[in-house]
Amino acid sequence: MSDFNHHTNVDNQPMGIYAAFPQGEGPFPAVVVIQHAWGVDEFTRTMADRLAAAGLVAAAPQLYHRLAEQGSGLEMMKQLRDAEVIADVDATVDWLGRQVPVDAERVGIVGFCMGGRVSYLMAAANPKVKASVVYYGGNIQKAWGEGVPTPFERSEDIDAPVLFHFGAEDGNPSPQDMELYDSELTRLGKVHEFHSYPGAGHGFMDFTNPDRHHESAARLSWPRTLGFFNRYLGAG
């Protein structure tokens, strides 16, 4: 099975999208699903399928489309640049807006690991994003590229409500990072909801990695994610 069942163009080149649609005619709210470092793999596609089963159109763009398909996921992640990532997600949001079953006024984003960082970034970078869910987004205080602000430095520009899931045993983002982000978003008056899961480390949602998967955290966090999208996108 191909990882991608749709495509759009970004900077005059094709970008694959794995999209999942609910049954029915809609219009449905939609969610951009941002991959973890390992790409739009079984885990990422399954998360999109779960969103579709809950009544949301889900679209997972291939953020590595500019890169040669070689090396580990972590090596490829290090080659990403924020300006290109923003362009890719913007293009995905626009692609969703052209799909007949989608209500273009109700678009959110969810991301895992590096995708969580992207979800935080896009809450500030694209005003069409109406709700942002961040799963253990690391490196929010680091820029991808020269001369660009970090996602954290863009917190003042966040327009969308943010739901952030942390593993209490995670080192990036750490419990100290959670306190910092909570304090800053509170200071700025941004709507946000944070949850920390005891015993869970980084990547706790990833059922394909038994060393990281934490069943209790995964089971608790997913209904909160769906409830968040229901609240702010009218999903479910």
pTM: 0.96
Residues near 109 by beta carbon (within 8 Å), at least 6 away in sequence: 31, 32, 33, 34, 89, 118, 119, 122, 123, 129, 131, 132, 133
Q: Residue 1: its pLDDT value, please?
A: 37
Residue ranges and CATH numbers for the domains of the chain are 6-233 (3.40.50.1820)
With a cut of 50, list the residues of the chain below it in pLDDT.
1
pLDDT of residue 236: 57
CA separation for the pair 188, 10 (Å, rounded): 33
